[in-house]
Amino acid sequence: MPNMSRLFVSGKALLEGQLSEGKKERMGVEGKLGVKMVDGEGGVWDLDFMHWTSVDKYVFSNQWIQFVEEFGVVEGRVLQIWCLRDTDSQLCFAFNVMED
């Protein structure tokens, strides 16, 4: 779906203990964090990660459209999302698109 330019997620479970106060403050000032995302096939994507206070949701954008196209993400498809740290302790995410 070419109009899926972003993914909204609830941050409470996803970010439990992962987002430091400094990162939260930086997101507030700069509006976003650049994060890495690893797909289920080992590909690495550069995404923007933001908190939209108006809807109290976290948002992934930037290369999201390319990810949607490559993996055939459509409404109703289940995505597994993991929050983790890379070897440099940077915030990263892993996504897996579940088969129907």
Q: What DSSP assignment string belongs to 16-73?
A: TTTS-HHHHHHHHHHS-EEEEEE-TTS-EEEEEEEEETTTTEEEEEETHHHHHHHHT-
pLDDT on residue 1: 44
Range of the structural domain that residue 20 is part of? 7-97
Give the residue among 14, 99, 88, 82 at the shortest CA–CA distance from 51: 14
Centre a 10 Å sphere on the Cβ of residue 59 and count the other Cβ atoms it contains.
19
2 in a domain, yes or no?
Answer: no
Does the residue 28 lie in any domain? yes
The tens place of each residue's pLDDT in the chain, 100 residues long, gives: 455 577 777 766 566 556 666 666 566 555 778 888 888 888 898 888 887 878 778 888 888 888 888 887 888 888 888 888 878 877 788 888 887 6
Q: Are 8 and 59 in contact (CB under 8 A)?
A: yes
Can you give the CATH number for the domain in which 31 is found? 2.40.330
- Predicted confidence at residue 23, as pLDDT, reads 64
- Does 78 reside within a domain? yes
In a domain, residue 38? The reply is: yes
Provide the number of structural domains found in the chain: 1
Residue 1 lies in a domain: no
